[in-house]
Structure 1
Amino acid sequence: MNPNDRSIVALVMTGHGLVHTYELSIPIFMTAWLGELGVSEAALGAVVGAGYFLFGAGALPGGVLVDRFGSRRLIAGCFVGMGGAFVLLGLLPGLWGLGAALLAWGAAASVYHPAGLALISTGVQQRGRALAYHGIAGNVGIAGGPLATALLLLAFDWPTVAVLLGLPALLAAVGAWRTSFDERAAVGVHDAPDAGHGEPSPRPDDRAALWTRSKALFASGFAGVFVLVALSGLYYRGMLTFLPDLLTPLVTVDLPIDVAAGRYVYAGLLAVGIAGQYVGGRLSDHARTEWALAGALAVLAAVAVVFLPVAGVGTAALLAVSAVLGFFLFLVQPLYQATVAEYTPPEARGLSYGYTYLAIFGVGAAGAAGAGGLLQIAGPPLLFGALAGLALLGASLSGGLAVRRARVGTHP
């Protein structure tokens, strides 16, 4: 890589790792909030879900801002917003303070994906290598962020940990403002639009053009894929949001210190997900993505059905079923990303991924609020039953898309 490429890759790797560190550390904090703030699962799920909703819903307007102000400025602002939000999380009192901080985090974090991926696409000449490093950094944040949060909670109370977690993003913001590179160094280098996750949207210049492109996109087979991705997002967020708290009483081994043991099982589950992402990416190259996705979602439905009975057998069984959950929960991500590419034309690929983020993180955020409500109404059995239903709906829809595609030919 040339110096310009390296500068950009360093910035986006930092951003991707931080975004997912914060995103998946929040359920770790919830194990403390439920005990110390005296709030119900429904109330906490609604507050957390609102922050996650902005994380997804802000992707489309974030893309417009990227076109207007450039990626580097937006990423630096994202760092300031995320770091500042976690500092506020530790300083503001009560549920309302927590909600305000999470809303600020969601709004700031929503900018990252359109900004980071657009920057890779327009600024890095070795785009494929940059996307690989970008994905690795995201995986480090997914697995390492929750583990780091859990370990810090052994030594500090949660407000102090929140402030400490906010500091790296603020330091990264200083680096982002000070760094210098050519954001458009690769424009014209790549002759054909990239069909993968990293191609920025051919974003329209006004609302009318956005509406026209969006109508054309949803008039195609992408409408079914959007629903499929939204169902996957509801399962993802509904499963993960309260999972650390649900896992703790299921761990039957005696630990040398008094900790919420579910935090560590949760972190391990996310680490196993890295292998799932790799396998899912390989499957997307060698299998019809709709059938592979249908199979993976069917497994997730089965996991939701058997999770509590199997986990109740003992800690070894809990770890095994958690590993299966983590593997398949992340295996579906490259599969639905590949499916989006197969159901959209190249000129609408970036816009389609914008809507994909809206579905998985925006619509999916309702899974956090729904999970809290179901836990308060009837406890874990109802929650896991509802999650199984969502996965079965997704599996059926994906199978239906595969059948329809076989009937109409190779172009959905």
Structure 2
Amino acid sequence: MTEMVYGAIPARDGEPVIPKWWRTVDKVTLGCVLGLFGMGLLLGFAASPPLAERNGLPPFYYVERQAMFAVLALAAMFGASLMSPNRVRRFGVLGFFAAFAALALLPVLGTDFGKGAIRWYSLGIASVQPSEFMKPVFIVTAAWLMAAAQEINGPPGKMFSFGLMVIIVGILVMQPDFGQASLILFGWGVMYFVAGAPMLLLVAIAGLVSVGGFFAYENSDHFARRIDGFLNPEVDPTTQLGYAANAIREGGFFGVGVGEGTVKMNLPDAHTDFIIAVAAEEYGLILVLIIIALYASVVLRSFSRLMKERDPFIRLAGTGLASVFGVQAMINMGVAVRLLPAKGMTLPFVSYGGSSLIAGGLLVGMLLALTRSRPQNEIGQMLAGRAREGRS
């Protein structure tokens, strides 16, 4: 009856999966993500050969591995984007239990690779960082709990999601991994705000975070060193932040030229945490602005499509996924220009790293699945249009 009255376009029963996916997926977001993958390979050619030479490896060893990880990430993104919202929810909840178990077992089975934080499982030919996979599945699980709380006689989902967030953040802080902990906290906070949290409660949570930060500063040498380095007005030119800041200044508007940069020779993390410094030095501000525009387009396009959704779970999960994706990029680039303390966080799809690329592919794949066009979107648009015509 609704379709007869409002003229909604009926679902195309029996339509093949791939044509239906192509018809409903956000092609602009998809194109921006593919552009970021391309940027990652381009900058990998610039940043990784010096590191490979220092490690006695073939010049393009890391580029080849990044290409392999990119293929796996694209496969994960494509597979996740084919899922329905219900399957995204089931996958997220099951994935959350797996990621939680992997995080809990890190102190026993994990390794630090000499970096002072036990964050990885060594698989011999590669390593896995569970916290990267925890981000998207926790967002989906928390969104499911918050959406369930909005139902009549629903469970106290907001309280359950808060408890899970506290436990996960606590585990990550003990590694220590303050960067991933802050992303988990931020993603949960955005969803909690969208779900209708009272401002007083959000202010109280912000106060608790400040107290926790002060406690970490007083009791963690790792955390204190990074904060002190950020607050120090004088930057040691021999540190990673010093090299990155100098590279960005040298690059100027058009860059020093392809292959002419020197920051990749001095930075051990030039291909990961400070890849944007390589981009700024060799290609200049122009390429950096293009990269920023690609991230902003993904986030803003996702928000635009989510505003048309009526399903609380889709709105909350999509908002959380898009927010975490955008903020991670913002933090990485903010660290490189000393707007934020060092976090040890990758630039999504651009930095080298298997766990980061594949987990990012899952995150964006689920975001694409949640923002695909659905019949209720068209009905909502028609209702809104008829309402505007009635008022005029």
State whether TM-score is above 0.5.
no
TM-score by length of 1: 0.30
TM-score by length of 2: 0.31
Greater Cα radius of gyration, structure 1 or 2: 2
Higher helix share: 1
